[in-house]
Structures are given as C-alpha cells and as structure tokens.
Amino acid sequence: MSEYKPPFHMTDRTVTLLAEISEQVGRITVLQEGTISPHLRRENRIRAIHSSLAIEHNSLSLDQVTAILDGKRVLGNPNEIKEVQNAYQAYEMMLRLNPNSVEDLLTAHKLMMQGLVPENGKFRSGGVGVFDGDRLVHMAPPAHLVPKLIQDLFDWYRDSEMHPLIKSAVFHYEFEFIHPFQDGNGRMGRMWHSLLLGQWKELFFWLPVEELIQSKQAEYYDALGKSDKAADSAVFVELMLEIIRDTLKDTTVVGRSTDQDSDQVTDQDEPINRLLAVLSEEELSAAELMKRLGLSHRPTFRKNYLTPALEKGLIERTIPDKPSSKNQKYRKK
C-alpha cells in the first residue's frame, strides 16, 4: 500500500459534480448501445489532439490537423506538423497502454515528443518552471526527485479507493506539479487523464475532453495556480469535473446501428454539438466561435455549424433585429 497522500479534500461541490457526471455516463451508456461509430471515434480523437496541441500554442487549425492525418500536404510549421503526427500515434496507442505503468508513460512520451526534444521518453535531467509570460507560476521539484515522485504517484493511484473521476483529476494535478519531462508535460498529463478515465468507462477514450479544456484554458491554468497556493488540488479537481460534465452533456455518442439513416443524421448533428460545447454559457462572436472550433473557412462554419444551430432554435443572436451587425454575438437559448 502506497504511503503517498496527495493533498485533496472533498467538497460539497465535488460530490454534486460526481453525481451529475454519473447520471450523464448512465444516460450515454444506454444511448450508446455498445460500440461508438468509427467515424465519430476518429473525429473526436482528432478534435482532442487539435485542442491539446492548441493549448501548447500549436497554430494549426482543426481543418489542417484533419488534412495532415488524412495524409494530405499542408503548409505550416514543420515542428507543428510533427507535433500532430506524434500526438496521433500516441493517442492511437492509448488502448494498449497500462495506465499504472511508468514504463508505458515513458513509451508514450517518446512517441509524443520524438524529433521535438532531445529527452524524449526520458525524465528531465534539469530544473523546469512554468511561466506566464515572464512571471514564474510554478517551480517544479528538482530533477533527481522525479523518478520516485512519479512512481509514488502511480502507486497511490493503483491503491487508492477514491472514485476514478476524482482520483484521475488529482493524478492530473499532481502530474503537472511534478512536471516530469523537459517538455510535453501538459499534453501528456491530459492524455493520461483520458487514459485513466477510459480504464474506468470506455467511452472516455473517445470523448474530446481536451476540447473543453482548451475553451477554458485561462481557468485551467488559474486552477492549477490556486491549487498550488492552497497546497490542495480541490480547486483543480472541481474544474476538471465541471469540464467532464459539460463534455458529456454536449457530446452525442452514438452506437453502431443497422439503420444507416440514423447514423447519418447523428453525424450531421455533430458540428452543432461541437458548437454548443465551445459556446458553453458565454456570448461569443462568429470569429470567436471559429477560433475555438479551429475553423478558418467562414462559409463552412456558417453552413455546417451556425445556421443549423440557429434553425433548430438551440442558439440565438444577441442583436436579433440586426443579423449582420459587426457587434453580433451568439448564446445558447
């Protein structure tokens, strides 16, 4: 039994979110009817990769990421293209990874960072800090402590009787606190969080939780900072549970169906679900929505996302009497 005890206290908010997520998981499990369609699996995987890399300042759009993974030539920064290719390989390997294996963590990091940093597949050999501009937000523990800290964290996760939703979020926070690698800590932490959740319920392997993290990027880093100052991961855990709940609410997961028309309708509705997910409870302009969705082609955005959502009455204009106003924004109804 591990003696490692990550600092975390259960709040009333945590309990409420846990209940809401469990309800959503039950709902989707019934609707899913077994197997998620291959089309939706691939689309969600690409969205997860695009969002996780965008958090790390990769400037490629969702359309460009899709084109790269379809084998098409894309004009862009070679390192950013390499990041996409690496991340796809790492995520594709996820079902074969043991979430309790430090060796598998290193293997996944090697795939994720191959050709991008010298120390791929190895724990860092020097000190690292997390910066917001020129301001030091977090100084990670010394490099010589990293192997033991990571092993302790893995042992704790394996032995802990906490609910997987909570302990996977605690793991995510502790992983970022340790910052075990020279680079790639954010994308590895988010991927491993999905892996841990997927071990609990398979549907989490295919849900693009990273997409909603990207839409709440400022809150994500703020929660990490607040948890650091409080020496308690509760703030970060609550935010991750909110993100998981909202992802489940706004994502349609379909099962394998013998009714081809049914699958086609669901695929057509998927852009609307994505739009609702990134819109959340905010009021956003078309340009802001396109940025969050990773889209660069306005006609495609209007045809597949905006217009259908308006016609279905799921969103509304903030200035309804002037549809073409330069100050126009959109919100959920």
Per-residue pLDDT of the chain (333 residues; tens, 9 = 90+): 557 788 898 999 999 999 999 988 887 776 655 456 677 788 889 999 999 999 999 999 999 999 999 999 999 999 999 999 999 999 999 889 999 999 999 999 999 999 999 999 999 999 887 766 677 777 889 999 999 999 999 999 999 999 999 999 999 999 999 999 999 999 999 999 999 999 999 888 888 889 889 888 889 989 998 999 899 999 999 999 999 998 888 765 443 333 333 333 344 567 888 888 888 888 999 999 988 887 777 877 888 889 889 988 899 999 988 888 889 999 998
Q: What is the CATH number of domain 12-256?
A: 1.10.3290.10
What was the pLDDT predicted at 180?
97
Q: What is the pLDDT of residue 69?
A: 93
Which pLDDT belongs to residue 143?
A: 95
- The CA distance from 89 to 82, in Å, is 11
- pLDDT score of 256: 36
The secondary structure of residue 72, as a DSSP letter, is -
Instruction: Specify burial of residue 193 (Cβ count, 10 A radius: 0-12, 13-18, 19+).
Output: buried
Say if residues 177 and 170 touch (Cβ distance below 8 Å): no
In this predicted structure, what is the pLDDT of residue 291? Answer: 86
**Would you state the pLDDT for residue 262?**
36
Dist CA 17 CA 165 (whole Å)? 10
- Which residues touch 318 (CB under 8 Å, ≥6 apart)? 283, 328, 329, 330, 331
Decide if domain 258-333 falls under CATH 2.40.30.10. no
- Residue 263 has a pLDDT of 38
The pairing of beta strand 135-139 with beta strand 129-132: antiparallel
pLDDT, position 260: 37
**How distant is the alpha carbon of residue 195 from its chain centre?**
11
**0.85 exceeded by pTM:** no
- Ordered DSSP codes for 254-307: -B--S-HHHHHHHHHHHHHHHHHHHHTTS-B-HHHHHHHHT---HHHHIIIIIH
Q: For position 268, what pLDDT does the model report?
A: 53
Instruction: Confirm whether 12-256 and 258-333 share one CATH topology.
Output: no
- The pLDDT, as a whole number, for residue 297 is 79
Domain residue limits, the chain? 12-256, 258-333
Tell me what pLDDT residue 35 has: 54
Phi and psi dihedrals of 132, rounded to 5?
-110, 95
Residue 162 has a CB neighbour count (10 Å cut-off) of: 16
Task: Count the residues in the chain.
Answer: 333
